[in-house]
Structure 1
Amino acid sequence: MLDLKKDSPFIAVAEGELDTITLSICGIPAVGVAGVKAWEKHFGRCLADFDTVYSFADGDKAGGSFASFLGREVKARPIRLPKGMDVNSIYMEGGADAVRRLLQS
């Protein structure tokens, strides 16, 4: 939640706590949600001051649903993760640079 206070034009929404922490460690301000069912209506207001909201959803069916939901709910731009991967697994394979490159794809 502290990343909501960072001076940044963008913020990422991750699917889960570990991915949220990993994004933050990589220099990408992030907040996490434990899936679509955990979303509360007021969460959108927390993101309203950011120019861009990115969704970092897991590379599975549930992640696709999460990204679609965030696109409708807060106009989040989806960051596509490879099938079967999440932010933390990408970090473990390629480090912080690999995670930051996701924003460029």
Structure 2
Amino acid sequence: MNNSFWDSTLGRFRLVAIIEGISYLVLLGIAMPLKYFAGFPEAVKYTGWIHGVLFVWYMALLLKVWIQYRWSFGKVVLAFIASLLPFGTFVLDSKLKKEQQAADA
């Protein structure tokens, strides 16, 4: 069994998915209110940029996982949709943790 997220492509995807999900929640829950209620647009500018980079990284790893683990098209679509929903990547991670444990066994 792998001890680190970095030991496999699926582990790296899970880690990036969690970080991307956190950045999305920060963007929606902190940066957007700062922009619209406190007149601080820089919060969205910088948080949005970071989130965008993480989203691109998530998509690149999703493509790699799709190919390496031979995921179905439907599973890839669900992983994409998870990235668009608040808390979606956390729900996805709970499912992928089981898959990673089975793959590592």
TM-score by length of 2: 0.26
Higher relative strand content: 1
* Greater relative contact order (CA < 8 Å, ≥ 6 in sequence): 2
TM-score by length of 1: 0.26
Larger radius of gyration: 2
Higher relative helix content: 2
